[in-house]
Structure 1
Amino acid sequence: MENQKKRVVVGMSGGVDSAVSALLLKEQGYDVVGVFMKNWDDSAEDSECPAAADYDDVRSVCAKIDIPYYTVNFEHEYWERVFRYFLEEYKRGRTPNPDVLCNKEIKFAAFLDFAKKAGADFLATGHYARLERRNGTTYLKKGLDEGKDQSYFLCMLSQSQIERAMFPIGELQKADVRRIAGEAGLSVAKKKDSTGICFIGERKFKQFLQTYLPANPGDMKTLDGKVVGRHDGLMYYTLGQRRGLDIGGSKGGTGERWFVVRKDMENNILYVSQGAESELLFSRALVMSGMNFISGGEEKPGFDCMAKVRYRQPDQQAHAEKCGEGVYRVEFAEKQRAVTPGQYCVLYDGDACLGGGVVDEVIF
């Protein structure tokens, strides 16, 4: 088969998605090599996603489908290109998304470079996304499983990155991926999906962050200035957050749930509200920087689109207007809840992901 001439390096995580990706490529006649990326040193930590256990699963899968497998260590690159940024954003009181940056800087940069040096024609991963190559340009499209689509996390990839990429399970539903794995006798067929940021695992987020950043406690106030409690440090909270405020029994309260509505970084105050959600949580527009257009071309001055400000959010009608180099103002047809600086705003045209940028300012 023609595909036998093409070598594909598959990023193997130890999960069912990458396992089935490797299996499908092998069945299609490609020369497949499995590679496990180790991006975080969890050897001295009580973590629920230890690399050793995941690597054992990779080894089992690769042996079953009869492909060679290797491991590559990107701990240094991850620390310098992703984790430092992660910490700096939290210091600023923002809420970063390291998974997006990991795809841009590690999986489709450091790892892609590794794959090229290994003689690979393509790099494949288990993302639920699709690619369409048309007239010399590669377009990123949503995965067909709406509940699993991961195009959001790939919004910062460039044309040169995705033209060497493959997403073998992008056309499949998750249930079909598990079925294929089970029929092939893969040991990870029923393995639980990983959630959250892998270097944190199942540990409490606040406890993890305290390991790297000093806490700076301060007052927790209502919008009219009444002190209702103390916060542990603004970096531990995000807009719209309801859990973990520890003020449920505050005197004078209504008994309803509290939620975060604003952070005052200058005065180290966390503002909260109770009951009906405050208008301060709903914004009509945002300004994002570093806008990346995946398929290249000149930046458009203005255009209608659909947008997401968080993963799994339904597409929202919006209009994007250029207001600087790589800077866009995105205005929504309906106000959006808890748009958070540091997160990514991702733009779509139908099922095509145009790209995205980092939310810098929220406009009410």
Structure 2
Amino acid sequence: MRVLAAMSGGVDSAVAAARAVEAGHDVTGVHLALSAKPGTLRTGSRGCCTIEDSHDARRAADVLGIPFYVWDFAERFTEDVVEDFVAEYAAGRTPNPCLRCNERIKFEALLDKAIALGFDAVCTGHYARLDVVDGSVELRRSADEGKDQSYVLASLTREQLAHAMFPLGGSTKVEVRAEAARRGLSVAAKPDSHDICFIPDGDTQGFLTKRLGQRAGVLVDDETGAVLGQHVGVHGFTVGQRKGLGIDAPAPDGRPRYVLSLEPVSGTVRVGAAEKLAVREIVAVRPVSRVDWSGPVECVAQVRAHGGTAPAIAELVGEELVVRLREPLSGVAPGQAVAVYREDPEGGDLVLASATIERTGV
């Protein structure tokens, strides 16, 4: 097959490309330039997609002996990922920019261009597995549970998965780094990127305030309705947040307070006890499903990239995915994604559906 290997400049994508070459595919490497000012997006292990990263990707392609190109996707990335991120926070929701990048950049914009140019598949360094079930390509968890990225890929359609390659799905990160060293790839020991790539200093609140400005509001005790403090914008908070609330007085019982909900129109941030964060029902919209929803399905629900899982029953009701949790989860916020899996005793749980959380209940 003709394969386009998306090479970020990290060890995972370099080894994924190497495995595609070794498998006998006709591989071309491509690095996506996602910022108009790429020099500003990496500080040590923070950020990604910098000039440094593009050079690392090119060196890896040279070692593998494959053609290499840099494609400018900065405008599309800004519109579909960065601006979406800002708009979601302004609306009081908590988005996942990595999920959005996979969905709209790597497996929409990039894949569309790859197919138009005659490529059969896009290869990435994601830790997830693909499997053929009843003639359709399905998504499973990776062998390395600690690195599993099926959650941020769960919104991909069957058609997109049919043109995807994840060569690292059966490996651990330790194995991948060791293989990179054996292959003579200079990125073998390169640190993984952390946090949000377009906020390299990790100051999400500062980033959002710079773009949204100050929108004064109040912090309110959910139990009594008492005003506990002031703030400069609901975009500075997320559901489940405990630290940095700016509340001087402790709760009457001495226990910490947490953000329970955000009301962007009124600027109200409601806070209260930890037990009020417990959620037993999730209603999510814009589902991407791979299940025949003739009725409720036993599953495991996941609401964060790492952790946040619970046994559940899921059901497609009209255009909404309704997930009833058998065990409560905390800190579940509108805007997050919920992915539901079918447990597999042999591992590699199968992704059944993904949707964007609209509201929660108890």
The verdict on how the C-alpha distance between 1:334 and 1:157 changes in structure 2, with shifts beyond 3 A counting, is same
Instruction: State the secondary structure of the residue aligned to 2:152.
Output: helix
Aligned equivalent of 2:75: 76
Instruction: State the secondary structure of the residue aligned to 2:139.
Output: strand
- Report the alpha carbon displacement of residue 10 of structure 1 after superposing the two structures with TM: 0.6
How many angstroms apart in 2 are the aligned matches of 1:298 and 1:259? Answer: 39
For this pair of structures, how many residues does the alignment match?
352
The verdict on how the C-alpha distance between 1:242 and 1:183 changes in structure 2, with shifts beyond 3 A counting, is same
How many angstroms apart in 2 are the aligned matches of 1:342 and 1:220? Answer: 21
Q: Is the 8 A contact 2:42 2:50 kept in 1?
A: no
Aligned equivalent of 1:24: 19
- Report the alpha carbon displacement of residue 173 of structure 1 after superposing the two structures with TM: 0.5
- Report the alpha carbon displacement of residue 47 of structure 1 after superposing the two structures with TM: 4.8
The verdict on how the C-alpha distance between 1:227 and 1:97 changes in structure 2, with shifts beyond 3 A counting, is same
Q: Deviations over 1:205-258 (max 9, x none)?
A: 1111122212212222323233332222112211111222233x5367676543
Aligned equivalent of 2:169: 170
Question: How much identity, in percent, do the aligned residues show?
Answer: 37
How many angstroms apart in 2 are the aligned matches of 1:164 and 1:219? Answer: 48
Aligned mate of 2:318, from 316, 324, 337: 324
Q: Is the 8 A contact 1:34 1:69 kept in 2?
A: yes
The answer to whether structure 1 residue 244 and structure 2 residue 237 are counterparts is no
Q: Deviations over 1:26-60 (max 9, x none)?
A: 22222111100112223474753362011011011
Q: Deviations over 1:99-147 (max 9, x none)?
A: 2122111101110122223322211000000111244211111111000
Aligned equivalent of 1:346: 339
How many angstroms apart in 1 are the aligned matches of 2:40 and 2:254? Answer: 39
Q: Deviations over 1:324-347 (max 9, x none)?
A: 22x121100011111100000101
Aligned equivalent of 2:232: 232
The answer to whether structure 1 residue 285 and structure 2 residue 300 are counterparts is no
Calculate the aligned-residue CA RMSD, in Å. 2.0
Q: Which amino acid aligns with 1:235?
A: H
Comparing 143-152 with 192-201, which one deviates more in the overlay?
192-201
How many angstroms apart in 1 are the aligned matches of 2:125 and 2:353? Answer: 20
Instruction: State the secondary structure of the residue aligned to 2:212.
Output: coil
Q: Is the 8 A contact 2:302 2:310 kept in 1?
A: yes
- Report the alpha carbon displacement of residue 159 of structure 1 after superposing the two structures with TM: 1.0
Q: Is the 8 A contact 2:15 2:176 kept in 1?
A: yes
How many angstroms apart in 1 are the aligned matches of 2:62 and 2:165? Answer: 22
Comparing 238-247 with 16-25, which one deviates more in the overlay?
238-247
Instruction: State the secondary structure of the residue aligned to 2:351.
Output: strand
Aligned equivalent of 1:129: 128
Q: Is the 8 A contact 1:220 1:270 kept in 2?
A: yes
Q: Is the 8 A contact 1:47 1:203 kept in 2?
A: no
Aligned equivalent of 1:312: 306
Instruction: State the secondary structure of the residue aligned to 1:331.
Output: strand
Give matches, 1:50-199, under 5 Å.
51-199=50-198
Aligned equivalent of 2:346: none
The answer to whether structure 1 residue 39 and structure 2 residue 34 are counterparts is yes
Instruction: State the secondary structure of the residue aligned to 2:211.
Output: coil
How many angstroms apart in 1 are the aligned matches of 2:29 and 2:185? Answer: 15
Q: Which amino acid aligns with 1:346?
A: A
The verdict on how the C-alpha distance between 1:226 and 1:330 changes in structure 2, with shifts beyond 3 A counting, is same
The verdict on how the C-alpha distance between 1:252 and 1:240 changes in structure 2, with shifts beyond 3 A counting, is closer
Comparing 328-337 with 228-237, which one deviates more in the overlay?
228-237
Q: Which amino acid aligns with 2:55?
A: D
Q: Deviations over 1:149-185 (max 9, x none)?
A: 1000011111110001100010000100011011112
Q: Which amino acid aligns with 1:282?
A: A
User: Gapped runs of 5+ residues in structure 2?
Assistant: 344-348
Q: Is the 8 A contact 1:347 1:354 kept in 2?
A: yes
The verdict on how the C-alpha distance between 1:45 and 1:215 changes in structure 2, with shifts beyond 3 A counting, is farther
- Report the alpha carbon displacement of residue 363 of structure 1 after superposing the two structures with TM: 0.7
The verdict on how the C-alpha distance between 1:164 and 1:251 changes in structure 2, with shifts beyond 3 A counting, is closer
How many angstroms apart in 1 are the aligned matches of 2:112 and 2:226? Answer: 55
Superposition TM-score, scaled by structure 2 size:
0.91
Q: Which amino acid aligns with 2:177?
A: R
How many angstroms apart in 1 are the aligned matches of 2:326 and 2:108? Answer: 36
User: Gapped runs of 5+ residues in structure 1?
Assistant: 1-5
Aligned equivalent of 1:3: none
Instruction: State the secondary structure of the residue aligned to 1:212.
Output: helix
Q: Is the 8 A contact 1:42 1:199 kept in 2?
A: no
Instruction: State the secondary structure of the residue aligned to 2:169.
Output: coil
The verdict on how the C-alpha distance between 1:254 and 1:192 changes in structure 2, with shifts beyond 3 A counting, is farther
The verdict on how the C-alpha distance between 1:334 and 1:225 changes in structure 2, with shifts beyond 3 A counting, is same
Comparing 52-61 with 38-47, which one deviates more in the overlay?
38-47
Superposition TM-score, scaled by structure 1 size:
0.91
